[in-house]
Structure 1
């Protein structure tokens, strides 16, 4: 449309016969021009044409006629024949010119593929760099760290971080220095360069770093260690330089590098095959930026990792990361504080002190992320049941969901299978944290836990299938959080773990493969007692590492036979202890199994009713939450993970 609107020459196509009869034979043709060897443009005498054809558009200078030809040779031959026929002498014959023309539209279209390729590269470069806030392909070496404004983005304070009091005390030094640096500088102190926050996943390393920025009221740069490494050589060091350049412009500020082990692994084990190593170059640049010649700015570097043991020694030395802060899973008191933080947003009428204490007792080994997930799951369960508020039973069902997995209603067991499961269920024997996942347990485990002094008594057991490959769920009440275990405690735990197989032998004609995980657990425990903990008189106080990657054992064949003999001796001793106990308590095992068959869920109060009060002193911290009673009768609802409750706890 635009092309046609632009004023220019106008034309009309005619045939050879029309050309000859209308113009050529009447002597109106002034000149012929062959364009692109396919078309002939006819130039007429305007004055003569205006006299012969006064209404013809050819009288206008912007109009011309043309006709198409098959080949130039045929056109020239027909033109000569026509001029001979009219008797035109050679000196007066019509001149013929030849010209090649290319339209501007054709010129543009010829460049279209090139323009398309250039445009695609430009668009892809902008798209690739848009995540980093850079434009153009030259922004690939820029840092991808996200800047959080301390006035609008960082709202987390230390009061929002619970369960890590020691770590908060350590890191408060950074906050004090960033807020009042002159208080330290007048005494000659230098600002600590950084701190490594290490610990299991979900314990709150990133949360603590954000709280530090929120308390100090300074800008906060957050970046992942993997974002420094790209497929292009030199990008990692360039991004490190750019990150620290931005940080110095915003000083005082905090840089938080999450998962620093992605670039900070030890250089001794890397680059075995030679060649350039991008991670090593990035680490070298990071070392230079943290403790090079330019170290006077108030830039604090915090780093989080789950694997502090693999980090390079040069990165961990004072002057770079001055503080090594370990954040472990919270203790019972720490879990109670974390529950109180997350319960602020939950609608419930339960007594907060009792609720948080009971939930902390029910969740040994939980990290902060596990606790947040548990509280959220309780609210979801209450919402699915159209409840007005979240009550205790919802929290207990949420804990069962987190530990045991989703209830499998599609997996229906036959009566024979249920009976076998009741005596020897598909559970795991108790872990040191008190959690139990899908492996092996039975009524024999419960009786052993009840009558062995150092074993963990049963809190709740169910034969409702849960999780992946689990035919039930169980939870034990740990006897406090112990960090040191004596020989007597380990023997009781091994005896309890073997309770499944012993109970099978006592109550069934044949045994099953269900105790394989129990045997694995007992063998590992006994091997550690012999090779690492010095609990064997024959082997003595020696330590043998069982690293499977080593091709050669660290001991001789004779020592290996002694170790095998000692391990078997310990397991046999635990087996005999378990068998003696369960033979005496064979009646109680039957009562527990039959009760489990009829109710499918047994709680601590059922164990007390059937077996009597445990003949040992209980943990005082747990007794006040489990023996004083608390109402927990749930309203029935069709939730996808509803768990039939145990017997109502007496008021």
Structure 2
């Protein structure tokens, strides 16, 4: 109904007529010609806006037509020239003299609707800017006023020292050395006069670097919580926008706000988004220039003519090697704190923190459970451990339990390492047999090699990470590996492929991931660790974070690296083949038991094969169990 009414108003405006009591009647040109023009009822014609023709009738014609006196007749035309030609032709045929022909007048009328149509683009543009301005002012950040002109305001979130920052150093476990380094900043911020009276200056900041999930952000918040000062948190990517100059403006606004709240802490997460080394990457103009201008402003703010006192900048990154040297120099980031993955004791402490909120089985001792779980999770970071505890609670709830038991934790560790069991993936008997002998080859090779990691569990149950079986080992927390250890690891990885060649006529694709690991270990020994006699103590390790347009060695050296790596893999394959050929009966026993039980533990292996024939230090699991027994 509304479109019809709007159309009527628009037509009324176009015709330029005030017609309060009558109506509009549209006729065709043929009806106009036969019913009005040929009968001499037309007085004059008004062409309106070159689109419509209003017909003005003779006064006496109303009674003849029996129409409402206020009825307006009109018809549309395609073009004025064509209409004039038609009228001239019709009046010639009717024999109307030139001095008596119907007058035609032309009118152009303005109307509200057409004026509004002209202003629609402008109104839409104004509305867009108003909408964007409201979003910019209401999107958080420090500058809540200013509308669209607040786009240069920093988006850092201010945490109040009394209500928002409740994290303390006791909540950060497994990073004792990093806490010792960072605690000095707490002393600076709590009592700066103690150091300044001796002429010392407050350090500008610290880079917190390390693998993902090790607790860099948590340690920064704990520093703010211990110091009792405001904490400004911002991501490095929030300085980068499509508008030129926004990054520099936000850096200035961030430090201006920090100065008002001094003493305070600024934490820039993922600083590599703006702190990459300048002049690298081969980019020209655009975003690269904007990023560099943002970095330049950050350098000036941290140590320039207008540097701020009592403002400590902490920054977190997983890639400290790509940062600009000017950012890392003393006077800007004075401390470089490396937060590495925790060792066995560190993992136990982290487990204690994350076990507190869980409703753990009351019969379990939390410290003992934490030590045991820590021995199961070598190489896990703090975020991984939190994920294990959370998955255990979810698994217990899914099974309708009231408490989280030790079995739930072990199942969650398996899920994090190898994925969930794929019960829907049913292997054929031939495939299951192949997987059993493949995994038995890995297990036997590791069992009879002195420097292989101790076996914890071997399974032939398919997992969600596309593996059809897996073997879980318990490596020690060590940072240096000997050549003998690396060679034994290569043999263990080749055990599955060798076992297939011994028991089946044809090998399968199941060893693809094993061969990838073996190849990587061989090339690392030859070209990175300098463990090859032919190449000598040379290391050709390349930086994966930067594009390499040519290799750092000649074609002859590259060919020699390939030959030596291939030779090393071949020797490991021959060694593994000799070992497993002599232990063929043991492989048969393990594979048959795997087909029956699907999962074998270390105890099952000892019952089947006896103890490993090497004098060994206790494994992390055995060490934790012995510690528990000694405490009891």
**1:178-327 alignment to 2 at 5 Å?**
178-270=189-281, 272-274=283-285, 277-327=289-339
Alpha-carbon distance change, 114 to 485 in structure 1, aligned in 2, over 3 angstroms: closer
Aligned position for 1:389: 403
In structure 2, how many angstroms separate the alpha carbons of the residues matched to 1:542 and 1:377? 45
CA change 1:238–1:538 in 2 (3 A) is same
Q: Helix, strand or coil for the counterpart of 1:277?
A: helix
Decide which moves more: 536-545 or 229-238.
536-545
Deviation at 1:576, TM superposition (A): 2.6
Residue pair 2:490, 2:572 contacting (<8 A) in 1 also: yes
- In the alignment, does 2:169 pair up with 1:158? yes
Instruction: Indicate the residue corresponding to 1:618 in structure 2.
Output: 617
Residue 460 of structure 1, aligned match among 440, 457, 460? 457
Kindly state the Cα deviation for residue 113 of structure 1 after the two structures are TM-superposed.
6.5
Distance 1:567 1:67, change over 3 A: closer
Q: Is contact 2:368-2:628 (8 Å) kept?
A: no
Which of residues 344, 347, 352 in structure 2 aligns to 1:340?
Answer: 352
Quote the residue 1:500 is aligned against.
496
Whole-Å Cα distance in 2 between the matches of residues 261 and 380 of structure 1? Answer: 35
SS in structure 1 of the partner of residue 463 of structure 2: coil
Q: Which residue of the partner structure matches residue 533 of structure 1?
A: 529
Output one character per residue of 1:334-355: Cα deviation in whole Å (capped at 9) or x when no partner. Answer: 0000000000111122111210
Partner of 1:583: 581
Per-residue CA shift, 1:241-283, capped at 9, x if unaligned? 0111111001001010001000110002056434671000100
Question: 1:562: Cα distance to partner?
Answer: 3.6
Q: CA deviation at 1:39?
A: 14
In structure 1, the partner of 2:31 is none
Cα deviation digits, residues 49-89 of structure 1 (max 9, x gap): xxxxxxxxxxxxxxxxx967779xxxxxxxxxxxxxxxxxx
Report the alpha carbon displacement of residue 415 of structure 1 after superposing the two structures with TM. Answer: 1.2
Alignment of 1:391-470 (within 5 A): 391-424=405-438, 442-470=439-467
Give CA deviations for 1:88-120 in whole Å, capped at 9, x if unaligned: xxxxxxxxxxx9999999988986775454234
SS in 1 for 2:232: strand
**What is the SS of the residue equivalent to 1:335?**
helix
**Conserved in 1, the CA contact under 8 Å of 2:491 and 2:573?**
yes
User: Equivalent residue for 2:600?
Assistant: 602
- Which of residues 187, 191, 203 is equivalent to 1:176? 187
Deviation at 1:393, TM superposition (A): 0.3
Match of 2:149 among 117, 123, 138: 138
Separation (CA, whole Å) in 2 of partners of 1:293 and 1:583: 74
Q: Which residue of 1 aligns with 2:88?
A: none
How many Å apart are 1:626 and its aligned residue? 5.9
TM-score when normalising by structure 2: 0.78
Paired position in structure 2 for 1:511: 507
Following the alignment from structure 2 to structure 1, what is the Cα–Cα distance between the partners of residues 240 and 312?
22
Deviation at 1:623, TM superposition (A): 1.1
Distance in 2 separating the partners of 1:356 and 1:125: 52
Give the structure 2 partner of residue 374 of structure 1.
388
Structure 2: 5+ residue stretches without partners: 1-17, 24-47, 57-68, 75-106
Q: Is 1:122 equivalent to 2:121 in the alignment?
A: no
Match of 1:571 in 2: 569
Q: Within 2, Cα distance between the matches of 1:238 and 1:481?
A: 47
Could you tell me whether the CA contact under 8 Å between 1:39 and 1:67 is conserved in 2? Answer: no
Scaled by the length of structure 1, what TM-score is found?
0.76
Q: 1:532: how far off? A: 2.3
Q: Secondary structure at the match of 2:138?
A: helix
Contact kept in structure 1, 2:391 and 2:412, CA below 8 Å: yes
Give the C-alpha shift of residue 555 in structure 1: 3.2
Q: What does the per-residue CA deviation read over 1:187-215, in whole Å, with 9 as the maximum and x for residues that have no partner?
A: 11110101001111111111011101111
- Residue 543, structure 1, aligned to residue 539, structure 2: yes
CA distance in 1, matches of 2:628, 2:343: 23
CA distance in 1, matches of 2:221, 2:22: 85
**CA contact 2:474–2:619 (8 Å) conserved in 1:** no
* Per-residue deviation, 1:495: 1.4
Structure 1 unaligned blocks of 5 or more: 1-10, 17-35, 41-65, 72-98, 425-441, 631-651
Shifted more, 326-335 versus 487-496: the winner is 487-496
Q: Does the C-alpha gap of structure 1 residues 110 and 407 become closer, same or farther in structure 2, counting only changes over 3 Å?
A: same
- The aligned length equals 532
Rounded to whole Å, the distance in 2 between the matches of 1:188 and 1:137 is 45
SS state of the match for residue 468, structure 2? coil
Distance in 2 (CA, whole Å) between partners of 1:377 and 1:117 is 51
Q: Which moved more, 1:251-260 or 1:462-471?
A: 462-471
Question: CA 1:324/1:332 → structure 2, altered by over 3 Å: closer, same or farther?
Answer: same
Distance 1:322 1:237 in 2: 23
Q: Which of 409-418 and 168-177 deviates more?
A: 409-418
CA drift of 1:522 comes to 1.7
Cα separation, 2, equivalents of 1:445 and 1:626: 26
Structure 1 residue 514: Cα displacement: 2.1
Q: 2-side partners of 1:146 and 1:535: how far apart?
A: 51
Name the residue aligned to 1:63.
none
Q: Which moved more, 1:467-476 or 1:328-337?
A: 467-476
Partners of 2:302 and 2:178 in 1: CA distance: 22
Greater Cα offset, 508-517 or 252-261: 508-517
CA distance in 2, matches of 1:628, 1:15: 105
Q: Aligned partners of 1:546, 1:149: CA distance in 2, in Å?
A: 45
In 2: Cα distance, 1:236 partner to 1:467 partner: 43
